[in-house]
Amino acid sequence: MKVFITGASGYIGGSVAKGLLDAGHTVFGLVRNPDKVEALRDIGIEPILGTLEDTDTLTKYAKLSDAVIHTADSDHLLAVETFIAALRGSGKPFLHTSGSSVVGDDARGETASEQIFDEETPFVPMDIRENRVAINNLVRKAGIEDWVRSIVIVPSMIYGDALALPVESDQLPQIIRKSRELQAGVHVGKGVNRWSNVHIKDLVQLYVLALEKAPSASYFFAENGEESYGDIAKSVSEALGFGGKTISWPADEAIAELGDWARFAIASNSRVRATHARNLLAWAPKEESLLSWIKKNLQ
């Protein structure tokens, strides 16, 4: 199968591309930085230079390919609309990447939510996640009305080394960076807020399975456990040689430094269960836990 992937030089997109190559697929990879073209080619990805604003390029490769996987920007409405228009009536798979912060709250690290979501649980998104939820719904609607085999994949906190180019994930590296800066494991507020998590290798396998057999308009959380940010901070502290010492990062200061990203990414609760992935696709995550990975890989 020929697959067009956006974000091919990124953490998720590059890793998914490598997984697809290993499974025998051909991959066209959208990349905006010309300096990364040869590195992608060396891996086996056919680089396509462009951005998500290049609607002609997106349309061309969507039509040339047997499937599209969008990982570059969950909130880029123009790209999603372009792919739906290009694939309309084709029956081709369109996998869109979201994130489990869509069910996040505004806890600011101060409370542990009792609410756990699977794919059928209704929710009201935070103000800063309303547009992302609307895009998810647009993708799923295309799977009903536009004869596109649309699929929304919703990863929780991702950890593990990238499988393609050496790039980092999102949440954990920020915690590690700030912990090194303050010489102690860092959490926002009390650090009792909880997040589900998933290893990048397990996530890649979910994409491969979804591409092969997910039904149209489907929606998959991706998780294999959960931890509080306080426990993550303690593990980071121990791994970095700070003796398990942790420190609270006031929410207002975290938001001032990192913007609203801090509210939904490291200060909220996001507790999800990948019920559909396990039951519909027989997805069986098997990689080591988040805290085990931190212990083995930080120094």
For the cut 80, the answer to whether the pLDDT of residue 235 exceeds it is yes
Structural domain contains residue 171: no
Range of the domain at 52: 2-164+197-224+271-287
Structural domain contains residue 84: yes
Structural domain contains residue 205: yes
Structural domain contains residue 252: no
- Of the pLDDT bands very low, low, confident and very high (cuts 50, 70, 90), residue 259 is very high
Structural domain contains residue 158: yes
For the cut 80, the answer to whether the pLDDT of residue 299 exceeds it is no
**279-293: average pLDDT:** 98
For the cut 90, the answer to whether the pLDDT of residue 171 exceeds it is yes
Residue 79's CATH number: 3.40.50.720
State pLDDT tens for residues 70-102: 999 999 999 999 999 999 999 999 999 999 999
Q: How many domains does the chain have?
A: 1
Quick one: three-class SS letters along the chain? CEEEEECCCCHHHHHHHHHHHHCCCEEEEEECCHHHHHHHHHHCCEEEECCCCCHHHHHHHHHHCCEEEECCCCCCHHHHHHHHHHHCCCCCEEEEECCHHHHCCCCCCCCCCCCCECCCCCCCCCHHHHHHHHHHHHHHHHHHHCCCEEEEEEECEEECCCCCCCCCCCHHHHHHHHHHHHCCEEEECCCCCEEEEEEHHHHHHHHHHHHHHCCCCEEEEECCCEEEHHHHHHHHHHHCCCCCCEEEECHHHHHHHHCCHHHHHCCCCECECCHHHHHHHCCCCCCCCHHHHHHHHCC
- What pLDDT is attached to residue 157? 98
For the cut 80, the answer to whether the pLDDT of residue 119 exceeds it is yes
State pLDDT tens for residues 26-57: 999 999 999 999 999 999 999 999 999 999 99
Structural domain contains residue 23: yes
For the cut 90, the answer to whether the pLDDT of residue 163 exceeds it is yes
**97-109: average pLDDT:** 98
- What pLDDT is attached to residue 27? 98
Q: What average pLDDT is seen over the chain? A: 98
Structural domain contains residue 173: no
**273-279: average pLDDT:** 98
Q: Is the pTM of this model over 0.75?
A: yes
**273-284: average pLDDT:** 98
